Chains A and B, each alone.
Chain A
Amino acid sequence: MRRWLRRARDLRVTLWTLIVPPTTWAVHFLFSYLWAAVSCAKLGSWARFPTAFAIGTVAALLIIVAAGLIAWQQARTPGAPAPHDEGTEIDRLRFLAYSTLLLSGLSFIAVLFTAAPVIVLSDCR
Chain B
Amino acid sequence: MSLHAQDDPQLRREQEARLREVWKPPTGWFFRWTDVNNNRIGVWYTLTAFGFMLFAGVLALIMRTQLAVPDNDLVSANTFNQLFTLHGSMMMFLFAVPMFEAVSIILLPQLLGARDLPFPRLSAFGYWSFLLGGVFVGGSIFFNAAPDGGWFMYPPLTTRTDLSGLGADIWMLGLSFIEVSSVAAAVELIVGVFKCRPPGMRLNLMPLYAWYILVVAVMILFAFPPLIAGDLLFEMERLLGWPFFDAAKGGDPLLWQHLFWIFGHPEVYIVFLPSIALFAMLIPTFAQRHLLGYPWIVLAAVGTAFLSFGLWVHHMFATGLPKISLAFFSAASEAVAIPTGVQIFAFIATLWAGKVKWSTPLLYASGSLAIFVIGGLTGVMVAIAPFDWQAHDTYFIVAHLHYVLIGGTLLPLFGGLYYYWPLITGKKLSDRLGRIAFWIMFVGVNLTFFPMHLSGLEGMPRRVFTYPADLNIGWLNLASTAGSYLFAAGVLVLVVDLALSPTRKKAVRNPWNAGTLEWLAHPDDEDWGIRSVPLIESRYPIWDQPGFVAKVDEGRFFLPDAEEGRRETIITSVLDAKPVSVIRLGTPSVKPMMTAVALGGVFILTTYHLYLLSALSGVVTLACVLWWLWDTAEIPEKPEKPIGHGMHMPLYISGPAAPGWWAMFITMMADATAFSGLVFGYYFYWTIHPDFGAGFDGPGTYWPIVALLLSLASWAATLAAREVHARGAVPPARALLIAGAVAALASLAVGLRCLDGLDPKANVYPAIVWVLVIWTVVHAAVGAIMQLYTLARSLAGRMDPAHDADLRNITVYQHFFALTALVAYLTIGLFPEAGL
Give the B-binding residues of A (Cβ under 8 A).
14-15, 18-19, 22-23, 25-26, 29, 32-33, 36-38, 40-42, 46, 85-87, 89, 91-92, 94-96, 98-99, 102-103, 106-107, 109-110, 113-114, 116-118, 121-125
Contacts and interface: CB of A to CB of B under 8 A. Distances in A.
Nearest to B333: A113
12 contacts: A15-B575, A18-B302, A22-B303, A25-B307, A36-B324, A37-B687, A85-B205, A95-B295, A102-B295, A106-B335, A106-B339, A125-B322
A110 B294 CA distance: 22
Given A87-B200, A95-B203, A113-B331, A26 B302 contact: no
Contacts of A113: 331-332, 334-335
Contact of B323 (A86, A107, A125): A125
A15 B575 CA distance: 8
A41 B536 contact: no
Given A15-B203, A113-B334, 11 more contacts: A25-B310, A36-B324, A40-B322, A41-B687, A87-B201, A91-B204, A92-B203, A95-B203, A102-B296, A109-B338, A114-B332
Given A41-B688, A92-B575, A109-B338, A46 B324 contact: yes
B299 A103 contact: yes
Contact of A25 (B204, B295, B306): B306
B328 A22 contact: no
Interface in B319-377: 321-325, 327-332, 334-335, 338-339
B524 interface: no
A97 to B, nearest CB: 9
B657 interface: no
B328 A14 contact: no
Contact of B332 (A29, A98, A121): A29
Contacts of A25: 306-307, 310
B509 interface: no
A42 B687 contact: yes
A33 B328 contact: yes
Contacts of A95: 203-204, 294-295
B723 interface: no
Contacts of B296: 102
A87 B200 CA distance: 7
A99 B295 contact: yes
A91 B329 CA distance: 37
Interface string B114-152: 000000000000000000000000000000000000000
A37 B203 contact: no
A87 B575 CA distance: 12
Contact of B306 (A26, A89, A122): A26
B295 to A, nearest CB: 4
Interface in B392-443: none
B28 to A, nearest CB: 44
Interface string B526-555: 000000000011110000000000000000
Nearest to A117: B327
B294 A116 contact: no
Contacts of B328: 29, 32-33, 36, 114, 117
B202 interface: yes
Nearest to B299: A102
A123 B323 CA distance: 8
Given A32-B328, A113-B331, A118-B324, A85 B200 contact: no
Contacts of A114: 328, 331-332
5 closest A-B pairs (Cβ-Cβ)?
A117-B327, A95-B204, A22-B306, A102-B299, A113-B331
Contact of A106 (B204, B338, B575): B338
B574 interface: yes
B302 A110 contact: no
Given A92-B203, A117-B324, A26 B310 contact: yes
A37 B255 CA distance: 13
Interface string B299-323: 1001100110110010000000111
A109 B575 contact: no
B490 to A, nearest CB: 37
B290 interface: yes
B324 A122 contact: yes
A89 B539 CA distance: 15
A56 B509 CA distance: 57
B730 interface: no
A121 B295 contact: no
A15 B309 CA distance: 19
Interface in B284-298: 290, 294-296, 298
A110 B332 CA distance: 7
Nearest to B199: A87
B223 to A, nearest CB: 14
A41 B307 CA distance: 26
Contacts of A15: 203, 574-575
Nearest to B541: A87
Contacts of B322: 36-37, 40, 46, 124-125
Contacts of B246: none
B576 interface: yes
Nearest to A96: B203
A28 to B, nearest CB: 10
Contacts of B539: 85
Nearest to A120: B327
B181 to A, nearest CB: 26
Contact of A85 (B290, B309, B321): B290
A92 B203 CA distance: 7
Interface string B185-205: 000000000000000111111
A45 to B, nearest CB: 10
B294 A86 contact: no
B327 A96 contact: no
B309 A26 contact: yes
A11 B290 CA distance: 30
Contact of A103 (B202, B203, B303): B303
A23 B295 CA distance: 18
Interface in B253-300: 290, 294-296, 298-299
A37 B328 CA distance: 11
A107 B338 CA distance: 11
A116 B339 CA distance: 19
Given A29-B310, A95-B204, A99-B302, A37 B339 contact: no
A100 to B, nearest CB: 9
A125 B339 CA distance: 32
B299 A99 contact: yes
Contact of B302 (A14, A22, A125): A22
A25 B339 CA distance: 15
A92 B307 contact: no
B569 to A, nearest CB: 20
A19 B331 contact: no
Select the residue from B294, B296, B537, B538 with max chain A CB neighbours within 10 A.
Answer: B294
Contact of A110 (B324, B335, B536): B335
Contacts of B295: 95, 98-99, 102
A123 B324 CA distance: 7
A44 to B, nearest CB: 10
B324 A87 contact: no
Contacts of A19: 302, 306
